[in-house]
Amino acid sequence: MLPSPILQIALLGVLAARAGTECLTVDEFNTFMETNTPSSTVTLTFDATGVNPNDWAGTKGALADLTDSTCAAGGGLALKVYGPDDPPNETHPSGTLKQEYGYNCGPMPDTETWADPNASEVVFTDGGERCDVTVWIDPSTFGYRLECDHGTWEGSGDNDPAMPVNYISLFSLVDGSTWRMSNATSTWNEVCFESEVPFDDEDTGGGVEETTESVQATQDVTVATDSASTVYADTTDLCVEANYSEVYLQFDLSSIPGTITSATLEMAAGADGSANGDGAEVYAAASAAWSENSLTWNSRPGRTGPVLDRAAPIEAGAQYMLDVSAAVSAPGVYAFALMPGASDSNGAHFVSKEGSVGGGPHLRVSWIADGSQDSGAGPEDSGDDAGSGDDGTGDGSGDGDSAAETGDGRDSQSAGCGCGTVGGPGRLAGLLPGLGLLVLARRGNPRGPKPGRGPGTGRRTG
């Protein structure tokens, strides 16, 4: 029996203790692979909304496509959703899943197969479903898992030709147009993979092991002028708007046993168009002694120090990465203030931890174990009330496909905020509640702030 997808991801977390495993966004992965060897072990996770089979009647849409572009004869792993047919396709009814795999290179050319089951039960009907999607491939297996607000579906198969991957596309095949899901959206994505690129130990005296953890916020709350003495009513909305609202975030890094070398705040804008906004700036909060269950506009701690980074403009469904390394140095509890710039009159909306499944703000922290480097001073401790709140292939014969195969949330109504339905389901942590933090280890130089991520250049990664 093949390992379950959850076990696959758990195993990837174990593999991460070895040098050579990395986690990037889809765009970053594709760029990295332009100059590197395709990876044999890849796990893709992302959220999906707006997957409506009626948008591609008579054909199908691709949730995700993974391919080896170095294989000139063609190869890919596509997870697709069938649209309605007339007459109905009894083998693959509308809204069912099929994961199709074909690889025309390697020791077993012209291999074509599918994940079991083929097809799945009906997953999508009208685009109102919200799902966390996981797709993986390793040297022996491939598969998928969808955790949706209305159920869970999974399938797997054998990767006998051992196809590697160097390019990934969401909501279409890798050509960008075939089987395109025009109305589907995602607020976050992540690709964890094994890389054959050796890490450079030259400047580290033999190598310093650096670990990266993605830590979910323990506290996240909006404070607003129209509820100056009461807690903001919509716990699912993180709204930043000039002369109206600010956002406060808190992260517990107390368990990190070493010196922090970099920290990146990850925020996802809501999926609805009303999440669009002018921008947001992040500062260190003046205090971490507060609770999301009692913080108000009047009691907010405010900011301290200069702006750490800025994201602008804010676009619905996009992810943003803001460098806060200058404010994080050692284990402790850290708080940040997300504030509008002077001209940010159009409020921006981000996904909170309450408005998603394991999602909301995350802090990606890299650190070096004690003994490798002296630790700096940590932040102040939080107060007693600062606890946790709230295809690259044809179908072959007998599968019922048409002949046209291609080769190879939140609702905020607070006055003044102009909010609409925003939000999105969670991140990888939401799929792995029993695993906690995803830990990655690498050898090489401790990572400092990356180029293009100083104040005013917060990266959009969606």
Q: What is the pLDDT of residues 90-124, one digit of tens each?
A: 999 999 999 998 888 866 666 688 999 999 999 99
In three-state form (DSSP H/G/I as H, E/B as E, the rest C), the secondary structure along the chain is CCCCHHHHHHHHHHHCCCCCEEEECHHHHHHHHCCCCCECCEEEEEEEECCCHHHHCCCEEEEEEEECCCCCCCEEEEEEEECCCCCCCCCCCCCCEEEEEEECCCCCCCEEEECECCCCCCCCCCCCCEEEEEEEECCCEEEEEEEECCEEEEEEEECCCCCCECEEEECCCCCCCCCCCCCCECCCEEEEEECCCCCCCHHHCCCEEEEEEEEECCEEEEEEHHHCCCCCCCCCEEEEECCCEEEEEEEECCCCCEEEEEEEEEEEECCCHHHCECCEEEEEECCCCCCCCCCCCCCCCCEEEEEEEEECCECCCCEEEEECHHHCCCCCEEEEEEECCCCCCCCEEEECCCCCCCCCCEEEEEEEECCCCCCCCCCCCCCCCCCCCCCCCCCCCCCCCCCCCCCCCEECCCCCCCCCEECCCCCHHHHCCCCCCCEEEEEECCCCCCCCCCCCCCEECC
Tens of pLDDT, residue by residue, the chain (462 residues): 333 443 343 344 433 334 467 888 899 899 888 888 899 999 999 999 999 999 999 999 999 999 998 888 878 899 999 999 989 999 999 999 999 988 888 666 666 889 999 999 999 999 999 999 999 999 889 999 999 999 999 999 988 888 899 999 999 998 888 999 989 999 889 999 988 664 333 333 444 567 888 899 999 999 999 999 999 999 999 999 999 999 999 999 999 988 899 999 998 888 788 889 999 999 999 999 999 999 999 999 999 999 999 999 999 888 888 999 999 988 999 999 999 998 888 989 999 999 876 678 999 998 888 765 443 444 544 443 433 334 333 333 334 443 333 333 333 333 334 433 333 333 333 333 333 333 333 323 222 333 233 334 354 444
With residue 317 as reference, give the H or E element that holds it: none
- Per-residue model confidence (pLDDT) at position 174: 87
- Are 338 and 281 spatial neighbours (Cβ–Cβ below 8 Å)? yes
CA quadruple 32, 35, 36, 38: dihedral positive or negative?
positive
- Residue by residue, DSSP assigns 146-180 as EEETTEEEEEEEE-TT---B-EEEESS-TTSSTT-
Q: How many angstroms separate the CA atoms of 147 and 126, rounded?
A: 17
Q: What is the pTM of this model?
A: 0.48
Strand order in the sheet with 75-82: 111-114, 97-103, 75-82, 60-67, 167-170
Q: Classify 276 as helix, strand or coil.
A: coil
Q: How many angstroms separate the CA atoms of 13 and 191, rounded?
A: 12
CA 444 to chain centroid: 25
Give the pLDDT confidence of 171-224 residue by residue, as tens digits.
Answer: 999 888 899 998 999 988 999 998 866 433 333 344 456 788 889 999 999 999
Choose the CATH number for 5-194 among 1.10.3720.10, 2.60.120.200, 3.30.1360.100, 2.50.20.10: 2.60.120.200
Token duo for residue 9: 């991801």
Token duo for residue 155: 């399938």
Query: CB neighbours of 432 closer than 8 A, spacing ≥ 6?
Result: 6, 9, 10, 13, 438
Token duo for residue 197: 């690129």
Token duo for residue 149: 């607000």
Which residues are paired to 339 by β-bridges? 281
Tell me how far CA of residue 115 lies from CA of 78, 120, 135, 309, in angstroms: 10, 10, 11, 44
Q: How many angstroms separate the CA atoms of 407 and 368, rounded?
A: 47
Token duo for residue 420: 């609409």
- Name which of 36, 101, 34 is nearest 67 in CA terms: 101
What residues does each domain of the chain span? 5-194, 208-388+413-460
- Per-residue model confidence (pLDDT) at position 191: 92
CB atoms within 10 A of CB 69: 18
- Per-residue model confidence (pLDDT) at position 196: 65
CA atoms lying within 13 Å on the CB side of residue 107? 5
Token duo for residue 19: 């040098």
Q: How many angstroms separate the CA atoms of 264 and 243, rounded?
A: 27
SS3 content of the chain, % helix, strand, coil (to 5): 10, 35, 55
